[in-house]
Chain A
């Protein structure tokens, strides 16, 4: 299942990464090499094999659904490229 420049552009859109037009063919080639290489897994019969969900057998821990942290709005926005009054600022979304 070869990846072409149209597919690369589509994946890049899904991943929200701007890829310049002139890089699409090069990336398609690289991704095809990698995908072709990982394709060898298909020769292995995995019928009935449980897909791994956790590498260490353990029961996920439960805790009370209570607030354990918070009340630090200035810490939350301190690293934001742009913030006003405790809010993150982004380009206008709704006209």
Chain B
């Protein structure tokens, strides 16, 4: 048996059910792994005492025959989810000391199913970033390194801490949130699975808001099966979120039949972008071949407005962020920097409390929403968003799922791409379109770059058809046989 922290979530679930080990033992192994991984800086807050208490309760429930779907499973929680009585920072200085008096719906769902909290994972400030470099709590290190190159690499972002801890075997799974790629891109950079569900599938209540029309919670895991298990526990209707959808949550694990015969897989021409690395293109073609060999039928498709997705996103998301972040005013929670008047206090607090990238986006958002520019920028972007969603709706009349690369490159080094915001934004060129259309999408580790870094393939499905996305992802995973491991694994060496 592999060490307890190196099991998959589904194997640990089975081991707990069989009585091979109990939740306290499993949690102790993970607490040790979290400590061993401190050099990665992947946690803002560790909660070992709470974890052990939750594990002890879990063992009692199991003995009483009341085991939930994730009974005794230790998880990391992105520090964007409010956790009652536990520091919640969103990676920002402005939330200094904030201990929510309530629990987010997604985390409450996980605890109701028996899961155990190891701590709060580091992230880009307010989920704005693709490298985890914008966190007030410092950069997170990717457990992977390039072959023959010892420079630390970024884990991607914004769910960078979540991805790093799952890859380094510190948690069996982690929660993330995805606004334009913040689950899928770090999953790809860290060689793990990341699933962004359909908009409305998971409640947003109690999750610190970035761009409300795009934000969606989802899991980061080491296998597709684990993602299916996590999503089932996280999802569900919530009256406290008016955009939460009232439809039953399927048994996603049951969807993993491995049978995709006759499935029509769309290959979008427009995703062959200029300057894409040859190895990404080769891996994409390999993915097409794997699905064909499994009996699926690849079909060339066109999503003509793809190239407008990123600029659209960089109007819509900052606009919503400028509005959502208005609440950080130094009055009700977090940091306050004194000023002589109320306005001076607001300005001083927000000037010191928000980092450079957050300020940049709030300013852009304020500008595109200001009088005289609202129609030219914000309304225009909402119209283009309709066109992008229509592109997907049209192709899904004839195909079942779309296959693309997840990112245009493998993980980059700490400090690279930092001088040009637009170069950083381009990381999300393949993930943003599905976000704008609200569709479910997954990244599956599928191969290694020339210098030994993981690369992911992305599948995008119809709204609320996570089952087809997961089933196809399972086939890709089986074909890819991705067994490569990061250089750093907690508890080894």
**Which residues of A pack against B, CB within 8 Å?**
3, 7-8, 11-19, 27, 30-31, 33-35, 37-42, 44, 46, 49-56, 58, 60-61, 63, 72, 75-82, 88, 90-91, 93
Residues of chain A within 8 A (CB-CB) of B100 are 79
**For A12, A38, A39, which residue has the most chain B Cβ atoms within 10 angstroms?**
A38
Main secondary structure of the interface of A (DSSP, over half): loop
A11-B370, A30-B421 in contact; A41/B311 too (CB < 8 A)? yes
B437 nearest CB neighbor, chain A only:
A55
With A11-B366, A31-B360, A35-B367: A88-B331 Cβ-Cβ less than 8 Å: yes
Q: Are A31 and B363 neighbours in the complex by a CB distance under 8 Å?
A: yes
**Residues on B with beta carbons closer than 8 Å to the beta carbon of A50:** 383, 386
B282 within 8 A of A: no
Instruction: Among A35, A42, A52, point to the contact of B385 (Cβ < 8 A).
Output: A52
Q: Is the CB of B370 within 8 A of A14?
A: yes
Q: Which of B246, B340, B350, B381 contacts A17 (CB 8 A)?
A: B350
Name the contact of B311 in the complex, choosing from A13, A38, A60 (C-beta under 8 A).
A38
Nearest A residue to B438, CB-CB: A55
Contacts of B200 in A (CB 8 A): 56, 58
Which chain A residue shows the least CB distance to B216?
A55
Establish whether residues A93 and B342, one from each chain, have CB atoms under 8 Å apart when the complex forms.
yes
Interface residue B379 (Cβ < 8 Å from any Cβ of A)? yes
28 residue pairs bridging A and B, Cβ less than 8 Å apart: A11-B366, A15-B322, A16-B346, A16-B347, A17-B351, A19-B351, A31-B367, A33-B420, A34-B364, A34-B421, A41-B384, A49-B387, A50-B383, A50-B386, A51-B383, A51-B385, A55-B199, A55-B213, A55-B385, A58-B243, A58-B245, A61-B246, A63-B239, A77-B332, A79-B99, A79-B100, A79-B333, A91-B340
B336 within 8 A of A: yes
Contact call B367/A37, Cβ cutoff below 8 A = no
Closest A residue to B361 by CB, please name it. A34
CB distance from B400 to the nearest CB of A (A): 19
Q: Complex: how many Å from CA A12 to CA B338?
A: 18
Extra A-B contacts (17), CB below 8 Å, given A50-B386, A79-B98 = A7-B367, A11-B370, A12-B363, A18-B347, A33-B421, A34-B314, A34-B360, A34-B421, A38-B312, A38-B377, A41-B384, A49-B386, A51-B385, A52-B389, A79-B100, A80-B332, A90-B331
In angstroms, Cα B354 to Cα A10, docked, is 18
Is B29 at the interface (CB under 8 A from chain A)? no
Instruction: With A17-B351, A56-B243 as known contacts, state yes or no: A81 contacts B334, CB within 8 Å.
Output: yes
Q: Does B380 contact A (CB under 8 A)?
A: yes
* B97 A15 Cβ-Cβ under 8 A: no
Indicate if the CB atoms of A8 and B363 lie closer than 8 Å. yes
- Cα A37 to Cα B351 with chains together (Å): 26
The closest CB in chain A to the CB of B344 belongs to A91
Which of A16, A39, A51, A75 lies in contact with B350, CB distance below 8 A?
Answer: A16
Contacts of A93 in B (CB 8 A): 341-342
Interface residue? B20 (CB, 8 A): no
Contact B334 A79 (CB under 8 A): yes
Flag if B245 contacts A56 (CB, 8 Å).
yes
Q: Is residue B359 contacting chain A, with contact meaning CB distance below 8 A?
A: yes
CA distance A82 to B345 in the complex (A): 13
- Could you tell me if A18 and B243 are in contact, using CB atoms closer than 8 angstroms? no
Chain B residues lying within 8 Å of A12, measured Cβ to Cβ, are 363
List the A side residues contacting B348 at CB < 8 Å.
18
> Would you give the shortest CB distance from B466 to chain A, in whole angstroms?
14
B245 / chain A contacts, CB cutoff of 8 Å: 56, 58
Kindly state the separation between the CA atoms of A81 and B382 in the bound complex, as whole angstroms.
38
Given the interface pairs A15-B350, A60-B242, the reply to whether A30 lies near B360 with Cβ below 8 Å is yes
CB-CB under 8 A from A18, the residues of chain B are: 347-348, 350-352
- Nearest 7 pairs between A and B by C-beta? A18-B351, A55-B438, A51-B382, A81-B336, A79-B333, A46-B383, A18-B347
- What residues of chain B lie closer than 8 Å to A13, measured between beta carbons? 347
